[in-house]
Structure 1
Amino acid sequence: MSRVAVHAEQYAAVEADQVFAVLTDWPRHAEWMPFTRAEGGRAVGEEIKGWTGVGPVGFLDTMVITEWLTGRRVVVRHTGRLVRGDAWFEVTPVGAGCRVLWVERVDLPLGVLGRAGWIVGGPVIRMFMKLGLRRLAQVAER
């Protein structure tokens, strides 16, 4: 199995605590992350369930929170059948606003086929991550 990493970042013109509050309000993910809805906990050891897809076509992404630093950082371990690996969000104060960093380190399934698929899928995933963070900043700034 191969591990790959992808990340995106975005500046938000509001305080870090405000962005973190929207970011970790899992049901609000549908407001800023395309094709995704989520629910779950807010403490280390608690589970998050995310559904990515359109209607009934998609996949369930289960995660366990492994680190929670209120207002600054949340780390999860992907535990689902399709997505495995680690991910984190960091919110860092910058001037009057903040920088939001989203990192995914995932294990590719399907061996060579998974690695070949990443050549196409990786840039698409990064594009959606960037779009999501841009929308997160807009939601938090309202």
Structure 2
Amino acid sequence: MPAIRIIRRTSLAPSEAWRRLTDWERHGEQVPLTRTTVETAPPTHVGTRFTARTGVAGITFDDPMEVTLWRPPGGASAGLVRLVKRGHVVRGWAEIEVRPSPGGCEAEWREELSLRGLPRLCDPVTAAAARFLFGRAMARLLRP
């Protein structure tokens, strides 16, 4: 199960970075051929469920996720959300942490994922692709 870690610094206030990084439907807009649908009523909380559907021309797979930890940032405290992937194809977890820093904040994305049917030999390629896609998504979501 490859692990990835991405850190981005931004001039955004921690609360604004948090709002952008936890806007689940906007995540799908940042990943090619992906649409995200939230299945529970807002606001996000422990138990919120959403699915990222990726694919083209009838060849698709779902990445259903559930929020298992929800702690927004406040004052000098960091915010942390943990997602558990509950799909048949994509398994694992992801965490997004937003920490106040001078002039804005620092956002960190940590994830461990596995793709059903792929041998561990493919882990380095899977991790590189995930770092690229999620790093690009973070940069776009945090763009001032």
TM category, shorter? 0.7 to 0.9
1:132 matched residue in structure 2: 137
Moved runs in structure 1, 4+ residues, more than 6 A?
Answer: none
- Give the whole-Å Cα distance in 1 for the aligned partners of 2:57 and 2:21: 23
Structure 1 unmatched ranges of 5 or more: none
Letter in structure 2 aligned against 1:15: A
CA distance in structure 2 between the aligned counterparts of 1:8 and 1:65, rounded to whole angstroms: 20
Runs of 5+ consecutive residues of structure 2 not aligned to the other structure:
74-78
Structure 2 CA distance, aligned partners of 1:7 and 1:80? Answer: 21
TM-score (norm 1): 0.83
Q: What is the alpha-carbon distance in structure 1 between the residues aligned to residue 57 and residue 10 of structure 2? A: 30
Q: Distance in 1 between matches of 2:105 and 2:123?
A: 30
User: Contact (CA 8 Å) 1:89, 1:102: kept in 2 or not?
Assistant: yes
- TM-score normalised according to structure 2 size: 0.82
The secondary structure found in structure 1 opposite 2:15 is helix
CA–CA separation in structure 2 for the residues paired with 1:4 and 1:85: 10
Give the Cα–Cα distance (whole angstroms) in 1 for the partners of residues 72 and 100 of structure 2.
13
In structure 1, what is the equivalent of residue 86 of structure 2? 79
Identity %: 30
Q: How many residues align?
A: 135
Shift in Å, 1:98: 1.0
Deviations for 1:3-49, whole angstroms, at most 9, x for unmatched residues?
A: 32112111111101001111212222244344433232411122111
Q: Which residue of 2 aligns with 1:66?
A: 68
